Chains A and B, each alone.
Chain A
Amino acid sequence: MDCYTANWNPLGDSAFYRKYELYSMDWDLKEELRDCLVAAAPYGGPIVLQNRVLDARIFHTEFGSGVAILTGAHRFTLSANVGDLKLRRMPEVPGLQSAPSCWTVLCQDRVAHILLAVGPDLYLLDHAACSAVTPPGLAPGVSSFLQMAVSFTYRHLALFTDTGYIWMGTASLKEKLCEFNCNIRAPPKQMVWCSRPRSKERAVVVAWERRLMVVGDAPESIQFVLDEDSYLVPELDGVRIFSRSTHEFLHEVPAASEEIFKIASMAPGALLLEAQKEYEKESQKADEYLREIQELGQLTQAVQQCIEAAGHEHQPDMQKSLLRAASFGKCFLDRFPPDSFVHMCQDLRVLNAVRDYHIGIPLTYSQYKQLTIQVLLDRLVLRRLYPLAIQICEYLRLPEVQGVSRILAHWACYKVQQKDVSDEDVARAINQKLGDTPGVSYSDIAARAYGCGRTELAIKLLEYEPRSGEQVPLLLKMKRSKLALSKAIESGDTDLVFTVLLHLKNELNRGDFFMTLRNQPMALSLYRQFCKHQELETLKDLYNQDDNHQELGSFHIRASYAAEERIEGRVAALQTAADAFYKAKNEFAAKATEDQMRLLRLQRRLEDELGGQFLDLSLHDTVTTLILGGHNKRAEQLARDFRIPDKRLWWLKLTALADLEDWEELEKFSKSKKSPIGYLPFVEICMKQHNKYEAKKYASRVGPEQKVKALLLVGDVAQAADVAIEHRNEAELSLVLSHCTGATDGATADKIQRARAQAQKK
């Protein structure tokens, strides 16, 4: 127990810092670190060594990672997002003749600034201007700044001066936190912040060639000796230090660990850990410790402390003993929700797996939570550690779409790049492993295969894609347009079909394009619809290609009134239509079209000779107009020429003459021969014009079958009743009866009732 705190170093009164080895470095490094420019990503990220690089700083904002570059001409260029590399040149710094002694990027309010030191002055550079700044409470006598450091969260700033003085304050340069004089005037090799969320004592770590110093708001600093060249990587909750042979982590001891392990700690977690140890020794002291915690009512807190502390331990043994203590304590609690314990066990298992030096991702618990499992999986996938990633997904029971399927898809994308394996084998291997796993897009994998120049493999993979719509874009890209067309049709997405059609239209010559359409009725209908509104000529060509004379005829009919205006043009269009109809063996339509040509010409002549509007009237209306205009002869002629049936002609004339109220002519007409429509219509039409007198004339001529109706129309109920009685027709009787309204018809109604009664007697 005591030896546990051996690597703890107090900083000030309240906080401890500790440094432990993550793993020893097994890399095959030829150069010394000092000869390299070193970059390392946070969250236990990879380390890059380069031996020739411009001076540059990488920074992280909400929008991603940015990069700032100091050019040879002592100008700064900045890009806020390396993913979308848009370089912005910053304004010139007045009087800057040589490289600044040190500089860094500050991120405030989502904007990146550059802070640089030139001699005793500090300048803040933003997109618009360059302004001088002075940190509050800076000790006098500074003639140059040697190092500066921004904290991980960009909230704090530390400055190291040539007097061996360290200023620590907020990054806004508005407030000083503390200062420290280390009395070392040699320029430090590196300076970084070492803090964590809810830190008790923020500290700055300064590294010289062989010395490491941790300073904070305390008169004494912590000092370590460095055996070899080392490099510091600031992290969310500490600092990673690596050298040729080791990789260490320095951080402020987390609160829970401190509570438990502090010497002679009486914190509930410490007592619980002790109790559990005694219990294992089968000592009754266990009970005493436990009772002590319970009396204070702190058992829940004790369990929580142990669980939390376990998370911060690097050594599995220590994790285990803390978790065992938590588990032991849980037994004495009634309702302790199991989630936190279970999740911690799971998380630690994952963390221990990735911390293994074979994998080399030394994440702390806090970093892991900040990073999220999804990003961690992405990192594993990028490093092609597929089996481990899948094991983690399965262990954590992540939903397939986010977990296993995604990783398998990545794996498949990698697999298709293996050029030494045959297309069949790759396709089969992928399908065997992926099967119908939900969330796997075979088309994405196929796209990757195509990207590697393996078209055949891509087509094979697409076969496995269940959603036909997904296959289309890639097929088009691979110039398999006809296949794409059938897949698009299968998908039922008309927009997709249309996209393919336009591709085909540009790719094929017109004839081939039409042939392709011919075999795909759904696509053909779609294209026709488009042409009807946008490309009429193409529509005609389509019909021509298909020898579809019927539609071609219809097309020209439409043109005869929609497109053509001059009469000659219209007649010509109709002639073409008629020819087409003949070819389509639609004699009826052909004849009707020819009739229309005749009618058009005739209407034209009528307009010329008689004036008035005849064009575009129907045959019926043309004749009516003639009669209304008093051109009876012409009307008769037209009726004969166009073989208007008698019945229609009679209706037509009857209506027109009644409209004219030419009763004399109507009567003459009615007597011209026996009416083919009978005389009831005469009665009806006269009544419509409210001429009862004329109507009655015709009522007498109506045949017996319709007599009753006619009499009722002219309002002669009594006579209608007589006729109905004479006919002995029940339907007629009730019809008359229904017309018997008012007092006047009372007698008639009685008469009918009597007749009915009589009929029934018989």
Chain B
Amino acid sequence: MAFPHRPDAPELPDFSMLKRLARDQLIYLLEQLPGKKDLFIEADLMSPLDRIANVSILKQHEVDKLYKVENKPALSSNEQLCFLVRPRIKNMRYIASLVNADKLAGRTRKYKVIFSPQKFYACEMVLEEEGIYGDVSCDEWAFSLLPLDVDLLSMELPEFFRDYFLEGDQRWINTVAQALHLLSTLYGPFPNCYGIGRCAKMAYELWRNLEEEEDGETKGRRPEIGHIFLLDRGISVSDVDFVTALCSQVVYEGLVDDTFRIKCGSVDFGPEVTSSDKSLKVLLNAEDKVFNEIRNEHFSNVFGFLSQKARNLQAQYDRRRGMDIKQMKNFVSQELKGLKQEHRLLSLHIGACESIMKKKTKQDFQELIKTEHALLEGFNIRESTSYIEEHIDRQVSPIESLRLMCLLSITENGLIPKDYRSLKTQYLQSYGPEHLLTFSNLRRAGLLTEQAPGDTLTAVESKVSKLVTDKAAGKITDAFSSLAKRSNFRAISKKLNLIPRVDGEYDLKVPRDMAYVFGGAYVPLSCRIIEQVLERRSWQGLDEVVRLLNCSDFAFTDMTKEDKASSESLRLILVVFLGGCTFSEISALRFLGREKGYRFIFLTTAVTNSARLMEAMSEVKA
């Protein structure tokens, strides 16, 4: 049941080197401030830091106490303070308030700010405006790639999504380019590059510039990874690709993420899962043998698998009976530990499953999934709309309601004006007027729009032309006028066969295609595109799709000679998601890899899901 890799599947490169690099660099930076010091860490950096250097390593380098960066005065009495932060303006103001308070009290200490992954000029500007630029020393910790698993690298930059796709702020693109540059210096050049999306293209070009500037460094190295594929979370301007991220996840890993929130590769299982009075932090990756076998499975198979596993385990325990002393000694010293470990993991995942089931039945999960599938297929739109309305009226969940509204809008190419108004009104009545701003954000991002064809297009068009130069804007106008009125999503899903026609029941135990990650209802667009391009080794023959995605200017391929690449490396593919990817997409591509004898490696700005996406768009009262 758990899919084994094909025997000819290529080996993955060793990414633990990235961790060592980051750790060494951090230690170097800490040593730059010799002597005892207190370390202030931004909350968002705590989990990633924990994966790189634990407390005892920090203590070895004379870090005395650890504090969280929060809006409270610091109680530290140390003479040296070190701040480890993301380059955000609010952090600068926090640091400034500390330093200025010290100044008022006539106290002098040493301050060092370490920006991760890089510092921005705007931050230094704020330090200067606050009058403390001369009092602090600034450094950069270029830690931008965290290996969360053997095949998953995360930049842990969830704000990338909102910054770029909502605010049009491009500052993180350079960070991505630098991360790619680091990968190519460590793992050799990539002989084949593909990409689609505006952001992907920009990142690609910046990366190329970096490579050219440091010409010769990667030249002559054997490529370890044969292909790289860059794509935007919102590939097209009409954002049909968001559909994937908006659907409920039903593959185990995705479901765990949706239910418990996987943070930086680990999850906090509460008492309801651990069946004790304590919460437990559990790392979820390939090292967890039980998890590794069920992570990519449709949820309906997981229980069966786990109970089979439990029976096997019991059988192994049972072998003890009838053992003589020597065999028993052997058993205790060699097998028992492994069995106990497996036992522990098994009961954890069974607990997690139960907890998921309980939550899902309470929310009438079946009903929800049915609605989602109806939306994807474009049936019973009225019924779905009333379902959403009821969902809002009953205050089931603000984020879920928003997600369903967006799904309806994207699949239908915008809501009809009446629904657009009434759903919004209902939502505001349920959750408060500040969500006027949320709706304004969603409209700007193209996630929730109104269906007056002329108007809608103009709105999207003006949104797009704001992002590009005048020349490109003209082209886009042309593209828009050539667009038919019908739903873009339908056209694309038809063209790419995203919604497979199934005769009879879709057998989730033996998946036939990537659609299994959504219960057979939908193949993630991003994954389908990757599949198609890899098959052709180019965008050739996909012109219509590219046109529908409005990406004629942003789809690219770049092939160099492959003579140096081994056949093994040519079956390794690095997929770069700009703006985040979901566990469902990861599972789908892992499936594709097994089918075709590839192995995929994922690099994402952050792992995302529908809730994170919606939260990024929401305005909440602070």
Residues on A with beta carbons closer than 8 Å to the beta carbon of B318: none
Instruction: Say yes or no: A495-B121 contact (C-beta < 8 A), given A557-B437, A648-B393.
Output: yes
Q: CB distance A534 to B89 under 8 Å?
A: yes
Q: CB distance A522 to B168 under 8 Å?
A: yes
A592 CB within 8 Å of chain B: yes
Q: CB distance A528 to B621 under 8 Å?
A: no
Chain A, residues 539-569, CB within 8 Å of chain B (1/0): the string is 0000000000010001001100110000000
B90 CB within 8 Å of chain A: yes
Please name the residue on chain A nearest to B172 by beta carbon: A494
Q: CB distance A529 to B169 under 8 Å?
A: yes
Q: CB distance A616 to B432 under 8 Å?
A: yes
Interface size on B, residues (CB 8 A): 50
Within 8 A of A (CB), among B165-180: 167-171, 173-174, 177
Bound Cα distance from A619 to B122, whole angstroms: 40
Chain A, residues 632-656, CB within 8 Å of chain B (1/0): the string is 0000000000101101100110010
A502 CB within 8 Å of chain B: yes
A593 CB within 8 Å of chain B: yes
A538 CB within 8 Å of chain B: no
Bound Cα distance from A438 to B214, whole angstroms: 11
Q: CB distance A492 to B173 under 8 Å?
A: yes
A395 CB within 8 Å of chain B: no
Residues on B with beta carbons closer than 8 Å to the beta carbon of A620: 395, 429-431
Bound Cα distance from A367 to B427, whole angstroms: 84
Bound Cα distance from A526 to B172, whole angstroms: 11
Bound Cα distance from A614 to B393, whole angstroms: 20
Q: CB distance A533 to B89 under 8 Å?
A: yes
Q: CB distance B621 to A526 under 8 Å?
A: no
Q: CB within 8 A of A521: which of B89, B168, B202, B622?
A: B168
Q: Closest Cβ of chain B: how far from A23's Cβ, in Å? A: 41
Q: CB distance B167 to A529 under 8 Å?
A: yes
Which of A494, A558, A562 has the most CB atoms of chain B within a 10 A radius of its CB? A494
Within 8 A of B (CB), among A561-603: 561-562, 588-589, 592-593, 595-596, 599
Q: CB distance B168 to A642 under 8 Å?
A: no
Q: CB within 8 A of B424: which of A526, A588, A644?
A: A588
Q: CB distance A529 to B432 under 8 Å?
A: no
Please name the residue on chain B nearest to A555 by beta carbon: B437
Residues on A with beta carbons closer than 8 Å to the beta carbon of B390: 647, 651, 677
A507 CB within 8 Å of chain B: no
A613 CB within 8 Å of chain B: no
Interface size on A, residues (CB 8 A): 45
B425 CB within 8 Å of chain A: yes
Residues on A with beta carbons closer than 8 Å to the beta carbon of B109: none
Please name the residue on chain B nearest to A558 by beta carbon: B437
Chain B, residues 445-472, CB within 8 Å of chain A (1/0): the string is 0000000000000000000001111000
Q: CB within 8 A of B170: which of A499, A522, A588?
A: A522
Residues on B with beta carbons closer than 8 Å to the beta carbon of A677: 390
Bound Cα distance from A665 to B312, whole angstroms: 56
Bound Cα distance from A526 to B163, whole angstroms: 10
A498 CB within 8 Å of chain B: yes
Q: CB within 8 A of B428: which of A528, A530, A592, A647?
A: A592
Bound Cα distance from A618 to B125, whole angstroms: 40
B14 CB within 8 Å of chain A: no
Which of B122, B171, B393, B433 has the most CB atoms of chain A within a 10 A radius of its CB? B433
Q: CB distance B125 to A502 under 8 Å?
A: yes
Q: CB distance A498 to B121 under 8 Å?
A: yes
Instruction: Say yes or no: A651-B433 contact (C-beta < 8 A), given A526-B171, A561-B621.
Output: no
Bound Cα distance from A493 to B205, whole angstroms: 12
B531 CB within 8 Å of chain A: no
Q: CB distance A492 to B205 under 8 Å?
A: yes
Q: CB distance B89 to A530 under 8 Å?
A: yes
Q: CB distance B122 to A647 under 8 Å?
A: no
Residues on A with beta carbons closer than 8 Å to the beta carbon of B469: 521
Within 8 A of B (CB), among A272-327: none
Q: CB within 8 A of A618: which of B129, B202, B429, B622?
A: B429
Q: CB distance A596 to B433 under 8 Å?
A: yes
Q: CB distance A526 to B622 under 8 Å?
A: no
Bound Cα distance from A473 to B395, whole angstroms: 55
Instruction: Say yes or no: A618-B430 contact (C-beta < 8 A), given A529-B163, A530-B122, A558-B437.
Output: yes
Q: CB distance B434 to A619 under 8 Å?
A: no
Chain A, residues 606-625, CB within 8 Å of chain B (1/0): the string is 00000000001111100000
Residues on B with beta carbons closer than 8 Å to the beta carbon of A647: 389-390, 393
B324 CB within 8 Å of chain A: no
Q: CB distance B174 to A493 under 8 Å?
A: yes
Bound Cα distance from A723 to B88, whole angstroms: 63
Residues on B with beta carbons closer than 8 Å to the beta carbon of A588: 421, 424
Q: Closest Cβ of chain B: how far from A350's Cβ, in Å? A: 25
Q: CB distance B434 to A557 under 8 Å?
A: yes
B619 CB within 8 Å of chain A: yes
Bound Cα distance from A557 to B90, whole angstroms: 21
A418 CB within 8 Å of chain B: no
A467 CB within 8 Å of chain B: yes
B209 CB within 8 Å of chain A: yes
Q: CB distance A526 to B436 under 8 Å?
A: no
A689 CB within 8 Å of chain B: no
Which of A526, A561, A618, A645 has the most CB atoms of chain B within a 10 A radius of its CB? A618
Q: CB distance A494 to B90 under 8 Å?
A: no
Residues on B with beta carbons closer than 8 Å to the beta carbon of A265: none
Please name the residue on chain A nearest to B465 by beta carbon: A521
Bound Cα distance from A550 to B443, whole angstroms: 12
Instruction: Say yes or no: A648-B429 contact (C-beta < 8 A), given A492-B173, A502-B125.
Output: yes
Chain A, residues 660-698, CB within 8 Å of chain B (1/0): the string is 000000000000000001000000000000000000000
A340 CB within 8 Å of chain B: no
Q: CB distance A467 to B213 under 8 Å?
A: yes
Q: Closest Cβ of chain A: how far from B90's Cβ, in Å? A: 6
Residues on A with beta carbons closer than 8 Å to the beta carbon of B440: 550, 554, 589
Bound Cα distance from A648 to B428, whole angstroms: 13
Q: CB within 8 A of A467: which of B170, B209, B394, B426?
A: B209
Bound Cα distance from A557 to B209, whole angstroms: 43
Bound Cα distance from A492 to B205, whole angstroms: 9
Which of A493, A499, A599 has the most CB atoms of chain B within a 10 A radius of its CB? A493
Q: CB distance B437 to A655 under 8 Å?
A: no
Bound Cα distance from A647 to B129, whole angstroms: 54
A525 CB within 8 Å of chain B: yes
Residues on B with beta carbons closer than 8 Å to the beta carbon of A562: 621-622
Which of B173, B209, B215, B389 has the most CB atoms of chain A within a 10 A radius of its CB? B209
Within 8 A of A (CB), among B392-429: 393-395, 421, 424-426, 428-429
B206 CB within 8 Å of chain A: yes
Residues on B with beta carbons closer than 8 Å to the beta carbon of A530: 89, 122
Chain A, residues 166-180, CB within 8 Å of chain B (1/0): the string is 000000000000000
B120 CB within 8 Å of chain A: yes
Bound Cα distance from A525 to B425, whole angstroms: 30
Chain A, residues 489-530, CB within 8 Å of chain B (1/0): the string is 000111100110010000000000000000001100110111
Which of A522, A525, A550 has the most CB atoms of chain B within a 10 A radius of its CB? A525
Bound Cα distance from A596 to B466, whole angstroms: 31
**A residues near B, CB below 8 A?**
438, 467, 492-495, 498-499, 502, 521-522, 525-526, 528-530, 533-534, 550, 554, 557-558, 561-562, 588-589, 592-593, 595-596, 599, 616-620, 642, 644-645, 647-648, 651-652, 655, 677
5 inter-chain pairs at a CB distance below 8 angstroms, sorted by A residue, are: A494-B171, A525-B170, A526-B170, A529-B169, A550-B440
Other than the known A521-B469, A528-B167, A558-B437, what 10 A-B pairs have Cβ atoms closer than 8 Å? Answer: A467-B213, A525-B169, A525-B170, A529-B163, A530-B89, A534-B89, A589-B440, A599-B433, A618-B428, A655-B394
Closest 9 CB pairs of A and B: A525-B168, A494-B171, A533-B89, A596-B433, A618-B432, A648-B393, A495-B121, A619-B429, A498-B121
**B residues near A, CB below 8 A?**
88-90, 120-122, 125-126, 129, 163, 167-171, 173-174, 177, 202, 205-206, 209, 213, 215, 389-390, 393-395, 421, 424-426, 428-434, 436-437, 440, 466-469, 619, 621-622
